[in-house]
Amino acid sequence: MNCEQLHRRLDMEPLDTLAPELREHLSQCARCRRAWALQREMLAALRALPEPPVPPGFAERVLGSAWAATERRHRNVTRDWGLALAAAVLLGIGIGLALSWGAGTHGGYQLQNGTVMVPAGRMTVVRIALDAAQPVHNVAFVITVPSGMHLQGHPGEERVAWNGELAQGRNVLNLQLIAQPGAAGTLETALHYAGRDNLFKVRVMAAGNESLRGLVHRLWARIGLG
Amino acid sequence: MLPVMENDNRRVEFEALVRPHLDGLYRLAYRFTGGREDAEDLVQELMVRLYRRHRDLAQVDALQPWLLRALHNLFVDQWRHRRRTPFGHLYPEPWEALFENEAAPGTPEQAAQAAGLRRQVLGALYSLGQEHRALLVLHDIEGRGLPELAETLNLPLGTLKSRLFRARRKLRTVLGDRNPLTGPDVVTSEVSQNEL
């Protein structure tokens, strides 16, 4: 048995028990012994991985999403019966915050009355769900962030644009948002596809060291209400 | 009124079928995707699809392996298309979070070495394509045998064997490129001939 043959066998055989010919080769070849040891450690490390804990409320969230998605689809079907011709070109992309069916914390941010509250000064992932009724090619994506915020890797850029595609079903944009203390405004996700535009806006507010009440007051002042 | 009642019944029936399997599906999805949010998205998408076919689901005899296959196929065939954005893959939740409350075995040096190797292995595992990664998860992490997987996934045993061969080799290659244990002068992991 040569080294290549042994390596092929290592990739196939259980390593707990070694066939005599493997044993013999290993006893004579330091390089293969290292490969065998690495393989053994690699598999032991994989087997030792802990069981991932199931997050609280998981079952309710996924079942709730099944009910909601089906009801949404029924509404769309009803509407599309009356718009049969238009349905041929309507690709049915829905945009919303991912995991937004329940209030609470998602990916480091909180939803409060429809406003995404993000901690100031550190990166937060805001998840935007794009539900496509069918695959959509040649989609132009444009993300516009509020003043005082930027996407990780795009400092100083108010807009980030690219072209891509959507798979059928749920597509998730993980927007890595960094906000300065006190920054607030509207985060926009715009799609342009097949001659159509789709825009989703969500209010985003950065929570720094100051109180939420102070932030709300400042936001109101910024938009001319306070 | 009738449509509402029908809808309620449908929900009850569907929930009774799938709820006992949701935790297992989540754990498998976590291992497939390597992150909590992606795992939740994957199971969620599966449930959305299955709920639309709930009558078919009620006809399935052995639901657990059927659901495993459905999740596997969704992950392998469809998940690869999900991340074609500049932002999609940049923030996987680290597996390390799962180890935070785990008592470290042995000496601090041993614990550090084990943690280092684990990081390397996980990094290598999640650099593989979906097909290879899924098989390593099912076979090498969950300990399912190839004959069982061939039946569950409805794939030829020979296909799985060659896929496992390629997956392990890729993993070892990736790991070999990164892992200091494979350096020519490092002998900490080298077994003595006595072990043979």
B 124-153: CB under 8 A from A: 124-125, 136, 140-141, 143
Same-domain check for residues A99 and A82: no
Same-domain check for residues B74 and B14: yes
Quote the number of domains for chain B.
2
State the residue for tokens 């650099």. B127
Q: How far is CA A201 from CA A81, A118, A145, in A?
A: 28, 16, 10
Cβ of A63 within 8 Å of Cβ of B15? The answer is yes
Question: What is the C-alpha separation between B34 and A186, in angstroms, rounded?
Answer: 31
Q: Which domain holds residue A183?
A: 92-222
In a domain, B21, yes or no: yes
Same-domain check for residues B8 and B73: yes
In a domain, B86, yes or no: no
Distance from CA of B130 to the nearest CA of A (A): 16
Same-domain check for residues A171 and A189: yes
In a domain, B45, yes or no: yes
Same-domain check for residues A8 and A43: yes
- CATH number of the domain bearing residue B143: 1.10.10.10
DSSP A12: T
DSSP B182: G
Q: Which domain holds residue B8?
A: 1-80
CA A59 to chain centre: 19
Residues with Cβ < 8 Å from B36, sequence gap 6 or more?
A: A52, A55, B30, B93
pLDDT in tens, A186-213: 999 888 887 778 888 888 888 764 444 5
Q: How confident is the model at residue A147 (pLDDT cuts 50, 70, 90)?
A: very high
Q: A125 - beta bridge partners?
A: A176
Question: From the CA atom positions of chain A, what is the Rg in Å?
Answer: 26
Same-domain check for residues A198 and A158: yes
In a domain, B88, yes or no: no
- CATH number of the domain bearing residue B74: 1.10.1740.10
Question: What is the C-alpha separation between A156 and A184, in angstroms, rounded?
Answer: 16
pLDDT in tens, A107-139: 455 666 667 888 888 888 787 777 776 778 888
Same-domain check for residues B14 and B66: yes
Question: What is the C-alpha separation between B118 and B110, in angstroms, rounded?
Answer: 12
B 58-77: CB under 8 A from A: none
Same-domain check for residues B118 and B59: no
Cβ of B22 within 8 Å of Cβ of A62? The answer is yes
pLDDT, position A97: 66
pLDDT, position B23: 96
Same-domain check for residues A77 and A154: no
Same-domain check for residues A218 and A115: yes
pLDDT in tens, A57-105: 899 888 887 877 766 555 443 343 333 323 323 445 666 666 433 333 4
CB atoms within 10 A of CB B129: 12
For residues A47-78, one letter each, b for 16 or more C-beta atoms within 10 angstroms of the residue's C-beta and e for the rest, the string is eebeebebeeebbebbbebbbebbeebeeeee
Question: What is the C-alpha separation between A6 and A12, in angstroms, rounded?
Answer: 10
ipTM for the predicted complex comes to 0.74
Cβ of A34 within 8 Å of Cβ of B140? The answer is no
Quote the number of domains for chain A.
3
Question: From the CA atom positions of chain B, what is the Rg in Å?
Answer: 20
Same-domain check for residues A107 and A198: yes
In a domain, B94, yes or no: no
Same-domain check for residues A182 and A139: yes
The model's pTM is 0.59
CA A216 to chain centre: 28
- When CB atoms are compared, the residue of B26, B51, B90 closest to A58 is B26
In a domain, B189, yes or no: no
- Which stretches in chain B have pLDDT values below 50? 1-5, 83-94, 178-196
